[in-house]
Amino acid sequence: MNYEGSIYRPPSESKSLILQITVGCSHNKCTFCSMYKNKKFRLKEMETIKKDLEEARKKYSSVRRIFLADGDALILKSDKLLMILEKINALFPECERVSAYATPKAILLKDSKALEKLYNKGLKLLYMGIESGSDKVLEKVNKGSNAKEIIEAGKKIMTTNIQLSVTLISGLGGKEFWEEHAIESAEVVSLINPDYLSLLTLIVDSDTEIATQIKKKEMNVLSPEEILLETYEFVKHLEVKDCIFRSNHASNYVALKGILNEDKERILNEIKKYLDNNNLIDPDQYRSL
């Protein structure tokens, strides 16, 4: 496979074939992210992508899932994405699901009809990073989208057959905006009502802009206990249905999971248990990206 630079994928794609169709991220300006800082965004040549798929077909007897990398594969024009999906269908008839990261901007550039065509060719799941529902936090971290645009993008996907998995980052608003971050994030997620909801926790990479802001005291990070208080407020204000919730990433201080709102009270009680016994909270040394 012709990979360029470091390759990232969601935890749930650990057993997927990773097909790199773009290099880097089309936005690549978020203050908290260093994943693609050393890459200049570009689209890979179609011939290179086809050769990678042909090479993978020779190497693997069965491929059930394929993840399209890098950070924003959906930014490709629909006709090119359809060509890639058609090649996947021809070479991997056993493939059950193709998935990709998608920024709100990339989603909004495609109409529902185009998205349905992609679904019919095999694109079954998109991962969209919300990060925060607070416009103040989104602007501060240079997300490139506001809450209204994120809601519009999320709702657009939810009107199609494509499943949507969204991600938020605990602690992203720091001490100044923690409550707004929690409550307004819950409001955004509730309006979208995605299929999957993942809650990560901020880990500061020394190579990021947010690390410089923290060093200059422009942002004060939350303690583990404050992160849990924020998480409690977030879950408390969520109003979703049949949403699979996970907060068990390596970055999280505690592992939480369930179906919301069905398991809401149980999850809130679990958070209370951790708050009442700080010894149960994983220390920073065990967290990682």
DSSP state of 195: S
Give the per-residue pLDDT at 108: 97
Partnered with residue 166 across adjacent β-strands are: 128, 197
Quote the tokens at residue 187.
Answer: 């409001």
Rounded Cα–Cα distance for residues 141 and 176 (Å): 14
Q: What sign results for the dihedral spanned by CA atoms 193, 194, 197, 203?
A: negative
Of residues 144, 137, 84, 73, the one with CA closest to residue 110 = 73
CA atoms within 13 A on the CB side of 74: 27
Judged by DSSP in three states, 256 sits in strand
Give the per-residue pLDDT at 289: 53
Give the per-residue pLDDT at 285: 46
Give the per-residue pLDDT at 287: 56
Taken in order of first residue, the domains within the chain and their CATH numbers are 11-286 (3.80.30.20)
Q: Report whether 88 contacts 122 (CB < 8 A).
A: yes
Rounded Cα–Cα distance for residues 239 and 246 (Å): 16
Regions of the chain short of the pLDDT cut 70: 279-289
Give the per-residue pLDDT at 282: 64
CB atoms within 10 A of CB 209: 17
